[in-house]
Protein backbone atom coordinates (compact mmCIF):
# COMPACT_ATOMS: atom_id res chain seq x y z
CA UNK A 1 0.00 0.00 0.00
CA UNK A 2 1.50 3.30 -1.08
CA UNK A 3 1.16 6.18 1.37
CA UNK A 4 1.74 9.90 0.92
CA UNK A 5 3.61 10.37 4.18
CA UNK A 6 6.04 13.25 4.71
CA UNK A 7 8.81 13.73 7.23
CA UNK A 8 9.33 10.09 8.15
CA UNK A 9 13.00 10.60 8.98
CA UNK A 10 12.10 12.91 11.83
CA UNK A 11 10.44 10.04 13.68
CA UNK A 12 13.15 7.40 13.59
CA UNK A 13 14.63 8.29 16.96
CA UNK A 14 11.38 8.43 18.86
CA UNK A 15 9.04 5.68 17.64
CA UNK A 16 10.48 2.91 19.85
CA UNK A 17 7.78 2.69 22.49
CA UNK A 18 8.70 2.47 26.13
CA UNK A 19 7.21 -0.26 28.34
CA UNK A 20 3.90 0.68 29.84
CA UNK A 21 3.45 1.17 33.55
CA UNK A 22 0.44 2.04 35.63
CA UNK A 23 0.00 5.62 36.72
CA UNK A 24 2.43 6.57 39.44
CA UNK A 25 1.37 5.54 42.89
CA UNK A 26 2.45 3.64 45.96
CA UNK A 27 2.39 -0.12 45.99
CA UNK A 28 2.82 0.33 49.72
CA UNK A 29 4.15 3.10 51.91
CA UNK A 30 7.74 2.03 51.32
CA UNK A 31 7.53 2.07 47.52
CA UNK A 32 8.86 4.90 45.43
CA UNK A 33 6.22 6.25 43.03
CA UNK A 34 6.70 5.38 39.36
CA UNK A 35 6.64 7.98 36.57
CA UNK A 36 3.40 7.88 34.58
CA UNK A 37 2.96 5.98 31.31
CA UNK A 38 6.34 4.26 31.44
CA UNK A 39 8.28 7.53 31.25
CA UNK A 40 11.83 7.83 32.53
CA UNK A 41 12.68 9.70 35.74
CA UNK A 42 14.65 12.29 33.74
CA UNK A 43 11.97 12.98 31.11
CA UNK A 44 12.22 16.49 29.63
CA UNK A 45 8.99 18.42 30.20
CA UNK A 46 8.36 21.87 28.70
CA UNK A 47 8.19 24.81 31.06
CA UNK A 48 4.87 26.46 31.79
CA UNK A 49 4.51 29.79 29.98
CA UNK A 50 3.13 32.99 31.49
CA UNK A 51 -0.36 32.12 30.21
CA UNK A 52 -0.35 28.89 32.20
CA UNK A 53 0.08 26.67 29.16
CA UNK A 54 3.02 24.39 28.49
CA UNK A 55 5.50 26.05 26.13
CA UNK A 56 5.38 23.29 23.52
CA UNK A 57 6.22 23.53 19.82
CA UNK A 58 2.56 24.47 19.30
CA UNK A 59 2.53 27.38 21.71
CA UNK A 60 2.25 30.93 20.40
CA UNK A 61 2.40 30.04 16.70
CA UNK A 62 0.76 31.68 13.69
CA UNK A 63 -2.49 30.57 12.07
CA UNK A 64 -0.53 29.17 9.13
CA UNK A 65 1.78 27.24 11.45
CA UNK A 66 -1.27 25.87 13.23
CA UNK A 67 -2.59 24.39 9.99
CA UNK A 68 0.82 22.97 9.12
CA UNK A 69 1.31 21.47 12.58
CA UNK A 70 -2.06 19.73 12.28
CA UNK A 71 -0.86 18.17 9.03
CA UNK A 72 2.38 17.13 10.75
CA UNK A 73 0.50 15.58 13.68
CA UNK A 74 -1.73 13.59 11.36
CA UNK A 75 1.33 12.56 9.33
CA UNK A 76 2.79 11.12 12.55
CA UNK A 77 -0.48 9.28 13.19
CA UNK A 78 -0.47 7.77 9.69
CA UNK A 79 3.13 6.68 10.12
CA UNK A 80 3.16 5.64 13.76
CA UNK A 81 -0.30 4.49 14.86
CA UNK A 82 0.18 0.77 14.31
CA UNK A 83 -3.05 -0.61 15.70
CA UNK A 84 -6.25 -2.26 14.53
CA UNK A 85 -7.31 0.93 12.71
CA UNK A 86 -3.97 1.40 10.92
CA UNK A 87 -5.32 1.00 7.38
CA UNK A 88 -8.18 3.39 8.02
CA UNK A 89 -5.82 5.97 9.53
CA UNK A 90 -3.47 5.86 6.54
CA UNK A 91 -6.36 6.03 4.07
CA UNK A 92 -7.90 8.99 5.91
CA UNK A 93 -4.56 10.81 5.97
CA UNK A 94 -4.08 10.33 2.23
CA UNK A 95 -7.63 11.59 1.68
CA UNK A 96 -6.78 14.65 3.78
CA UNK A 97 -3.77 15.42 1.56
CA UNK A 98 -5.99 15.25 -1.51
CA UNK A 99 -9.04 17.08 -0.16
CA UNK A 100 -7.07 19.93 1.44
CA UNK A 101 -4.17 20.10 -0.99
CA UNK A 102 -4.63 23.81 -1.74
CA UNK A 103 -5.00 24.84 1.91
CA UNK A 104 -1.98 22.80 2.95
CA UNK A 105 0.17 24.20 0.13
CA UNK A 106 -0.83 27.72 1.15
CA UNK A 107 0.03 27.03 4.79
CA UNK A 108 3.39 25.55 3.84
CA UNK A 109 4.25 28.52 1.64
CA UNK A 110 3.19 31.03 4.29
CA UNK A 111 5.18 29.32 7.03
CA UNK A 112 8.31 29.26 4.88
CA UNK A 113 7.81 32.94 4.06
CA UNK A 114 7.59 33.70 7.77
CA UNK A 115 10.86 31.88 8.37
CA UNK A 116 12.57 33.75 5.51
CA UNK A 117 11.41 37.06 6.95
CA UNK A 118 12.34 36.22 10.52
CA UNK A 119 15.66 34.40 10.08
CA UNK A 120 17.02 35.56 6.73
CA UNK A 121 19.89 33.54 5.31
CA UNK A 122 19.84 30.02 6.67
CA UNK A 123 16.08 30.13 7.32
CA UNK A 124 15.65 26.70 5.71
CA UNK A 125 17.94 25.00 8.23
CA UNK A 126 16.02 26.59 11.10
CA UNK A 127 12.74 25.56 9.47
CA UNK A 128 13.89 21.95 9.04
CA UNK A 129 15.09 21.81 12.65
CA UNK A 130 11.83 23.18 14.01
CA UNK A 131 9.73 20.83 11.90
CA UNK A 132 11.76 17.90 13.21
CA UNK A 133 10.84 19.06 16.71
CA UNK A 134 7.17 19.13 15.71
CA UNK A 135 7.27 15.56 14.39
CA UNK A 136 9.14 14.37 17.46
CA UNK A 137 6.65 16.09 19.76
CA UNK A 138 3.72 14.16 18.31
CA UNK A 139 5.69 10.89 18.35
CA UNK A 140 6.39 10.89 22.12
CA UNK A 141 5.69 7.32 23.26
CA UNK A 142 3.95 7.96 26.61
CA UNK A 143 0.91 9.58 24.97
CA UNK A 144 0.64 7.56 21.76
CA UNK A 145 -2.44 5.52 22.60
CA UNK A 146 -4.54 8.58 23.40
CA UNK A 147 -3.00 10.57 20.56
CA UNK A 148 -3.85 7.91 17.98
CA UNK A 149 -7.44 7.86 19.15
CA UNK A 150 -7.76 11.64 18.88
CA UNK A 151 -5.98 11.69 15.51
CA UNK A 152 -8.50 9.21 14.08
CA UNK A 153 -11.35 11.45 15.20
CA UNK A 154 -9.71 14.54 13.72
CA UNK A 155 -9.04 12.76 10.42
CA UNK A 156 -12.67 11.66 10.21
CA UNK A 157 -13.85 15.22 10.82
CA UNK A 158 -11.34 16.66 8.32
CA UNK A 159 -12.99 14.56 5.63
CA UNK A 160 -16.18 16.58 6.12
CA UNK A 161 -14.56 20.03 6.26
CA UNK A 162 -14.89 22.26 3.21
CA UNK A 163 -11.62 22.97 1.44
CA UNK A 164 -11.82 26.68 2.26
CA UNK A 165 -12.43 25.98 5.96
CA UNK A 166 -9.37 23.90 6.80
CA UNK A 167 -7.44 26.75 8.47
CA UNK A 168 -10.37 27.44 10.80
CA UNK A 169 -10.77 23.72 11.46
CA UNK A 170 -7.06 23.48 12.38
CA UNK A 171 -7.40 26.13 15.09
CA UNK A 172 -9.76 23.79 16.94
CA UNK A 173 -8.00 20.56 15.97
CA UNK A 174 -4.46 21.39 17.12
CA UNK A 175 -5.26 21.75 20.86
CA UNK A 176 -7.12 18.44 20.71
CA UNK A 177 -4.17 16.70 19.06
CA UNK A 178 -1.82 18.22 21.63
CA UNK A 179 -3.97 17.39 24.67
CA UNK A 180 -2.72 13.79 25.17
CA UNK A 181 0.80 15.16 25.55
CA UNK A 182 -0.03 18.07 27.83
CA UNK A 183 -2.16 15.70 29.92
CA UNK A 184 0.92 13.50 30.24
CA UNK A 185 3.02 16.53 31.22
CA UNK A 186 0.57 17.40 33.99
CA UNK A 187 0.66 13.82 35.25
CA UNK A 188 4.45 13.87 35.11
CA UNK A 189 4.65 17.13 37.07
CA UNK A 190 2.31 15.61 39.66
CA UNK A 191 4.60 12.57 39.84
CA UNK A 192 7.60 14.87 40.46
CA UNK A 193 5.80 16.35 43.46
CA UNK A 194 4.93 12.89 44.76
CA UNK A 195 8.49 11.68 44.22
CA UNK A 196 9.98 14.64 46.07
CA UNK A 197 7.62 14.01 48.97
CA UNK A 198 8.71 10.35 49.02
CA UNK A 199 12.37 11.40 49.12
CA UNK A 200 11.71 13.81 51.99
CA UNK A 201 10.00 11.07 54.00
CA UNK A 202 12.86 8.70 53.28
CA UNK A 203 15.44 11.27 54.43
CA UNK A 204 13.62 11.80 57.72
CA UNK A 205 13.78 8.14 58.71
Kindly state the DSSP code that residue 85 receives in the 8-state scheme. Answer: T
Confidence of residue 205 (pLDDT cuts 50, 70, 90): confident
What is the model's pTM?
0.84
Do the domain assignments include residue 20?
no
Do the domain assignments include residue 199?
yes
Mean of pLDDT values over 122-136: 97
Q: pLDDT at position 17, please?
A: 37
Tell which residue, 23, 27, 32, 24, has the closest CA to residue 201: 32
**Is residue 77 predicted with pLDDT exceeding 80?**
yes
* Per-residue CA distances from 55 to 75, 85, 170 (Å): 22, 31, 19
Mean of pLDDT values over 111-135: 97
Q: Angle at which helices 86-99 and 63-80 pack, to 10 degrees? A: 150
Tell which residue, 72, 77, 66, has the closest CA to residue 174: 66
Q: pLDDT at position 21, please?
A: 38
Q: pLDDT at position 179, please?
A: 98
The Cα 79–Cα 6 span in angstroms is 9
- Better-predicted residue by pLDDT, 9 or 139: 139
Count the domains in the chain: 1
Do the domain assignments include residue 115?
yes
Q: pLDDT at position 111, please?
A: 98
- Does the CA dihedral 109-57-146-11 come out positive or negative? positive
How does pLDDT run across 146-198, given as a tens digit for each residue?
999 999 999 999 999 999 999 999 999 999 999 999 999 999 999 999 999 99
Do the domain assignments include residue 8?
no
Do the domain assignments include residue 83?
yes
Buried b (16+ CB within 10 A) or exposed e, 168-189: ebbeebbebbbebbbebbebbe
Based on C-alpha coordinates, what's the Rg of the chain? 19
Tell me which residue range forms the domain holding 193.
59-204
How does pLDDT run across 6-60, given as a tens digit for each residue?
454 444 344 433 333 334 444 455 799 999 999 999 999 999 999 999 999 999 9
Three-state SS sequence of 87-153: HHHHHHHHHHHHHCHHHHHHHHHHHHHHHHHHHCCCHHHHHHHHHHHHHHHHCCHHHHHHHHHHHHH
Confidence of residue 64 (pLDDT cuts 50, 70, 90): very high
Do the domain assignments include residue 33?
no
Amino acid sequence: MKTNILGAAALIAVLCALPAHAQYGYGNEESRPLPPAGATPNQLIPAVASDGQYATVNHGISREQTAWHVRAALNVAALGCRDAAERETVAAYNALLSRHKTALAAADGAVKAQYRSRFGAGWDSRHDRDMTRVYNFFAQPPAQTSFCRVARDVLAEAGRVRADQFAAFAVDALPRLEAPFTDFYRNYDAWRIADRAWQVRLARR
